[in-house]
Structure 1
């Protein structure tokens, strides 16, 4: 592993609204250790361990906005209500005491929620057109009044994040969840102002970003996570070309997104079959000029979808290829998922050249807050 490349991973990051000690981000990973939606001391300690071991920025697991059908589990953390917000206040305090920075990922899963699940099982699941990821009609389209309520819920969560002392927010607009259901033509066939072509389908997300920006002011970082792929539709694409990607991203930039978190399953894969080697984060940075976060099976030899489908573990592997891309400026930050879930000291071991001490990942690791 190149010393210069490792050094690049531990260079400070500075943008107009976000300053970090290094380029390592803890990727958001659903854990389900918050009974009743309330994160406790064990959750605070879980995130604190990553901060103590040198992670530059922690993005929490998805946290549910204040909407009755936002989530599908009573153990997913809420980002509303006195008890849950007090719990998150404790998380922020623990991470900051360890010298880290942290932001919540604000989440609504839309029509991927199975009926009868979550904190409010009686509430119907919602989506832009009432279509699930297979394009099947399973509910009614959201009304414009219901859309306004959802936007307000995101904005309230953003305001609470700032009040609690978080260092920014991330909006989950990927993987076929609610915001992404508005983005995707399979799940959004609306004919009003929230539907239409690729650019028009960004309307809901841009209004969410604008509402959050009004709630937090001009200096609070807003990150948008997006993906081409959807849960169970791994070949799906929002944009078939760099030109389409540019047209998709520009309204989000104009609305106030500061950083794009570009979710892929394998970070090393080119985003488009156009002869260029840039991944999704690389193209997004090139097209927008905004900082980007890359992610996707970093440090492990098996992607997450195969790991859980085949119930296999994953061994630690060299990150030289990743570091070369970072060193040449293809992207700015690197999100680490399962490798950090299983090994709180991953960043410290990489920095100190102790790669032989990295832990392999097993599916059983998801059952514990290491």
Structure 2
């Protein structure tokens, strides 16, 4: 059999980048992906540490952790996901961070509250919390549990958050951020995407409140900005703080949160003023247009708009080196390997600063090394069954 031919290395991927107080050696990130291997107590073990360290060891510039909940009751949407809200979890994450640092990597924790996308099977029967008492549409699917793939489970009605609830959740994010700093994480990513709690406040379809947390896009960003300010207070000025954004939700991949660049600008400017150092933007594909043609005739991506509006570094995820979107993959569609040059074009066009690789890095711990060597054609396609193991 003929030896595979090495392809030209996309040099733009391997330029350094500074985010907040952290210098990254290249523009490749491991996207945050729910893995659910942390048991009922939400404590990552040695296998989790090996999983992250393996990606760091092959040269990946930055790792984002899986979603890590800020409390073990209403915040938890899926069984087996980790937390960062008690001493055992903090100590376990310290071991993960140490393993990544020993492998030469940098790692940021993604802090998470599922809001109305939580489910009693994971919350210990606690009722989910949400901006408004509106049940999420669609079936409840746990990507780590094939028993849910047939869609027989439904979301449950959440309880509309009181001001006391809001204050408590803001405090839980801040407390988790303090633990992240003590555990040695290189930064914090707040999960404001995919239809989870912060995103639910952003979106007028899930936020029907009659108070200061709703109204225009700036008002709907108030909760997120309170979280940012509280977390920034715990992290200090040097530890990078990012906010995750997306148009879609995991229960509705066709959802739109912002319908015009003006609406998005109100959200982004509020978050910047509150203290974020950058953003992580998820889309179906990295170049998926953010808005309808009448709102943006040039059909530019959500990441492009966020970068232009904020002037801050932006990490972008969406179908990197794969032919299918995450939604299609979770429905069982096969992915074909594609040229990373398609994603690198976004770097070259200054639409993004970091390329976040998700499913492809789950299937290929050595994604960065293979791409750097020009051997991307050797990458393994992602299959849904891979979610059942931690390799």
TM range (shorter): over 0.9
Q: Does 1:306 align with 2:332?
A: no
Cα distance in structure 1, aligned partners of 2:103 and 2:68: 22
Quote how far apart the aligned CAs of 1:319 are. Answer: 1.9
Deviates more, 1:11-20 or 1:134-143: 134-143
Quote how far apart the aligned CAs of 1:140 are. Answer: 3.0
Deviates more, 1:265-274 or 1:154-163: 265-274
Cα distance in structure 2, aligned partners of 1:357 and 1:193: 53
Contact 1:133–1:176 (CA<8 Å) still a contact in 2?
Answer: no
Which residue of the partner structure matches residue 132 of structure 1?
135
Which residue of the partner structure matches residue 295 of structure 1?
317
Which residue of the partner structure matches residue 83 of structure 1?
88
Q: Which runs of 5+ in 1 are unaligned?
A: none
Deviates more, 1:353-362 or 1:35-44: 353-362
Cα distance in structure 1, aligned partners of 2:319 and 2:349: 20
Cα distance in structure 1, aligned partners of 2:309 and 2:380: 37
Which residue of the partner structure matches residue 285 of structure 1?
307
1:237-277 superposed Cα distances (whole Å, 9 cap, x missing partner): 22212222112211011001111111101112222322324
Which residue of the partner structure matches residue 73 of structure 2?
68
Would the alpha carbon gap of residues 134 and 312 (structure 1) be closer, same or farther in structure 2, given more than 3 Å must change? closer
1:98-141 superposed Cα distances (whole Å, 9 cap, x missing partner): 01000110001011122x322x4231111111212349992331
Cα distance in structure 2, aligned partners of 1:38 and 1:16: 28
Q: Does 1:218 align with 2:237?
A: yes
Cα distance in structure 1, aligned partners of 2:34 and 2:56: 18
Cα distance in structure 2, aligned partners of 1:255 and 1:43: 33
Contact 1:340–1:346 (CA<8 Å) still a contact in 2?
Answer: yes
Would the alpha carbon gap of residues 17 and 277 (structure 1) be closer, same or farther in structure 2, given more than 3 Å must change? farther
Contact 1:263–1:295 (CA<8 Å) still a contact in 2?
Answer: yes
Which residue of the partner structure matches residue 219 of structure 2?
200
Which residue of the partner structure matches residue 318 of structure 1?
339
Cα distance in structure 2, aligned partners of 1:198 and 1:237: 13
Cα distance in structure 1, aligned partners of 2:195 and 2:91: 30
Match of 1:149 among 168, 174, 182: 168
Q: What aligned pairs does 1:97-112 form with structure 2 within 5 A after superposition?
A: 97-112=102-117
Deviates more, 1:97-106 or 1:123-132: 123-132
Match of 1:252 among 242, 246, 271: 271
Secondary structure (helix, strand or coil) at the match of 1:199 reads helix
Cα distance in structure 1, aligned partners of 2:104 and 2:156: 48
Would the alpha carbon gap of residues 153 and 67 (structure 1) be closer, same or farther in structure 2, given more than 3 Å must change? farther
RMSD value, Cα: 1.7
Q: Does 1:356 align with 2:373?
A: no
Quote how far apart the aligned CAs of 1:67 are. Answer: 5.1
Contact 1:67–1:150 (CA<8 Å) still a contact in 2?
Answer: no
Contact 2:37–2:44 (CA<8 Å) still a contact in 1?
Answer: yes
Q: Does 1:340 align with 2:340?
A: no
Which residue of the partner structure matches residue 11 of structure 1?
15
Secondary structure (helix, strand or coil) at the match of 2:234 reads helix
Q: Could you tell me the TM-score, scaled by structure 2's length?
A: 0.90
Which residue of the partner structure matches residue 177 of structure 1?
196
Q: Which runs of 5+ in 2 are unaligned?
A: 1-5, 139-154
Cα distance in structure 2, aligned partners of 1:125 and 1:137: 8
